[in-house]
Structures are given as structure tokens and as C-alpha cells.
Amino acid sequence: MKRVSPAYSLKAYREALDEGRVTSRELVEACLEAALDREGEGAHVFTKVFESTARAEAEAADYLPVSAGLPLRGVPVTVKDLFDVEGQVTRAGSVVLNDAPPAASDAAVVRRLRDAGAVVVGRTNMTEFAFSGLGLNPHYGTPRTPYAREEGRISGGSSSGSAVSVSDGMAVAAVGSDTGGSIRIPAALCGLTGFKPTARRVSMQGVLPLSPSLDSIGPIAATVACCAAMDEVLSGETHALQQEDAAGLRLGVLQGYVLDGLESHVATSFDAALDALSHAGVKVSAVRFDALDEIPQCYRYGGIAAAESYAWHRELIARAGDRYDPRVLTRIVRGGEISDSEYRDLLDARRRIIAGAEKVFAMVDAWVMPTVPRVAPLVAELERSDEAYFDANGAMLRNTLVFNFLDACSLSMPCHRQGEAPVGLMLSARGDDDARLLQVSLAVERVLAEAGFAIQGQVSF
């Protein structure tokens, strides 16, 4: 094979490896070729490519028997630049930490990937310190979405390089983080599937934090099943998903500001997806959550994320604030305006709102809405204007951050037609209902694929 492609599912790659139709070394060489292509996006996608270790890991995987039972044996993956990798400096998309000591050991999620047989191709670029939904990075460049690449549109953040590493054949799957949408936004803008699990299910050991109360770790890959398989490795839990008929599923379209200001292409794609689901027997109805309007108020001065981020960065900013991305720095320092008592009030408000959401979640199998209200904006426009940057950042994060705040699980899948600008359909369920959400998402994905939407991973290897 000449390249790795999200047209094939993780299951298809694993079967091809197990049956000897392709070797891990061949897959990894294809990924490295894409990553190192001077005319491709690799230079902006990676902060570090692991050429020698990836080849060595691939060769070792090819000697392992299928009977070893490793779920990711020989599968090339990437990890976001905020995960510790033994012997390397964890920079989190920044230059501020260049002089930090190398990590003494792998982060827990990196260790889980290796223990499952995965080959780690490299560390992927990101918004500096993960604090933006756009993916711009003035230090390492900005990966562009594969859609209309010549126009130069953002891939979304903060896990920008993670998504493009999959869309551009540099990995079969990627692992990113999601504090306000940083997995689901780039998945949506790159035509992929991204899963934000309930935060406590996946270890944050060895991960540079943005907001410990909100941070979660999850995969970006071709399909729901791909994300479920990756989540099993990352969490250590088994989902045992079965193909389920979508007829009779109850999806609640959350009403309120999450549907305001949708660009016409997003609105049309979302409505078409809902129509396809309704025709397949899914019960689609409007749901209302009275406390929804309180959530934006809890993000005054950046909310919990800014407060917790500022606490971590305060001393570093005092020493090297001039080396930060100014736009990221602006968001972090806002957290310094939140007093200890205001921070405690935010945590109390969050607990109260989560308790109220439980009743609404129980009414349906999942809440549904567009992942983001706009198509990917142009990189040049956002680089040129602070006003455009912060307006787009707020728009990109608006819907996704609801479910970090609610301590929920959430997944984005494509709901556009082939050749159109990517649009994400977001399904969400209450915390710890991850297996059920993945099961529901699998049924929804099948309906959309059969209706002709641009679902990846539908071609057999």
C-alpha cells in the first residue's frame, strides 16, 4: 500500500496486519513518508517525529505473534505534545518549556498505547498549552484542514496536529486532550470522529494540565468503532459494542443558544442529518435545559479553566511571559482576576447545574447538536485580526464546552456530504454513560453512512 488513509477503519488495519496482508513496518513507512513530505502538512503537524524508534517498534511488532492478543499490535498512532514521553521534554506546543527536564517516564496513556502494541510515530502540534479551539500556533506553524487546503483553513484546536495526522495518513489514530472541545472541534473540521470520554475514566498521569477539573483524554480516528477501540486501550475498560438498529432511539435536540447563529452550510447539513435519522425511525425531539444559559455566565474571565490554568502558569509567566503566544497569554492571565471565593462559587454552580442536567439526560439516549456553528475559517484572517481570532474562538468552543462543564461524555462525527466543507454532528450523554453513548453513536453513524454522508472508514482494506 502507498499510504495510510482514514477511508479504512482501525479494525481493517488490524485485520490486515493479523492476516499478513501488510506489515507494521510498511504502515509506519507510509506514515513517515507523509510526515516528512516537504510539500505536505507534516512540518506543521509534528513537534517531533520518532523516525528511528517508530521503525524499531514496527519491526518488533511484526515479530510478535497474533496470539499475543495485543489490540493495537503494529498500528501507527500519534500523541499530542502535552503527553510525557520518556527521555523527551514535554513542551505543550510552546517554546517556554524548552529548558525543562526530560520526562522520566511515559505518561500513563502513552504507556497503555505501547503495552497494547501501538507504534508511536511522533508528538503532534497543538495550540500552545491547549488554550484555544482554533489550533493556531506561532511557534511551530498551524496545521490546515484537508478541505480546500489551498485556501488555508484551520484544522481546529487545540488538538490540531492530532486530527491532521489522521486525515493526512500520518497515523491510523491519534490521542488528544479535550478541556472545552479540543478533540471534537478538530475532528469536526477535518471530517473525522472524535470522542471525549467522561474525564475521570482516563488517567491524566504524566499529562501537562490545562484545567484539572475539566481535562479529558480521548481519540481522534476514522469511525465510532475506531474511537471505541482506542478508548478501551486508554481507559482499560471493555465496551463490547453490538450493531444496534437505530429505530426507536431517542435523540434530544438541545434548544437554546447552541443552535443560534449557525452558518447556512452547518444548518443545512445538521437538518439533513436529523431528517435521515428520523426517516430511519429515530425519535428526534426538542429538549430544553433551563440551566443552559447559566453555563456561559460561569465562563466570565475564562471560568474554571482560566482560574486553574493561571494557578499552574503564574510563576512561569513571571519568568517568561514574553515568550508565550500573546493570545494564549491573554486568556490565561484572565484567570488571575478570579478570587478564591469566586472559584469556589464556580465549582458549586457546576455541581448544581450537573445535578439538574441528570434529569434531562435521562429523558433521551443522547443530546444532539452541531459540534461547531461555523465551517473552518481562514488561517490568514485569524492571524491578521485579534477581533476575528477571539470571535472565532468563542464560536468554535461554544457548543463543545457545555459537555466538559457538565462532566459528560461526548462524540463528534461527520454529517456533511462528500466534497463539502466538513461539519460535525455531536452526540452527548451524562458522565459514565460512555459505553451507551458509543453504542448509540454506532447506530447513528450507520444511518448517516447509508444515507450518503461523508462517514470515513467505510471501505474494506
pLDDT digits (tens, 9 = 90+) for 418-460: 999 999 999 999 999 999 999 999 999 999 999 999 999 988 7
Averaged over 338-346, what is the pLDDT? Answer: 97
Strand order in the sheet with 76-80: 46-49, 119-124, 76-80, 173-178, 216-221, 193-196, 409-414, 424-429, 366-370, 250-254, 283-287
User: What DSSP state is assigned to residue 83?
Assistant: B
* Catalytic machinery residues: 80, 158, 182
**pLDDT tens-place string over residues 87-101:** 999 999 999 999 999
- pLDDT, the chain, mean: 97
What is the distance of C-alpha 80 from the center of its chain? 10
Residue bearing cell 443552535: 259
Taking alpha carbons only, the member of 185, 232, 175, 239 closest to residue 207 is: 175
Q: How many CB atoms lie within 10 A of CB 393?
A: 21
Taking alpha carbons only, the member of 75, 164, 86 closest to residue 121 is: 75
- Give the CA angle between residues 226, 228, 233 to the nearest 5°: 100
Taking alpha carbons only, the member of 229, 174, 223 closest to residue 458 is: 223
242 or 118, higher pLDDT: 118
Cα dihedral sign for 77, 327, 96, 308? negative
Residues 84, 106 contacting (CB under 8 angstroms): yes
Residue 1: predicted pLDDT: 57
The domains of the chain, with CATH numbers, are 10-293+342-450 (3.90.1300.10)
134 or 241, higher pLDDT: 134
Task: Name the region of 36 (left: φ>0; alpha: ψ -120 to 50; beta: rest).
Answer: alpha
Averaged over 256-268, what is the pLDDT? Answer: 98
Residue 460: predicted pLDDT: 79
Q: With 80 as the cut, is the pLDDT of residue 323 above it?
A: yes
Q: Cell for 369?
A: 447538536
Band the pLDDT of 2: cuts 50, 70, 90: low
Residue 250: predicted pLDDT: 98
3-state secondary structure of 174: strand
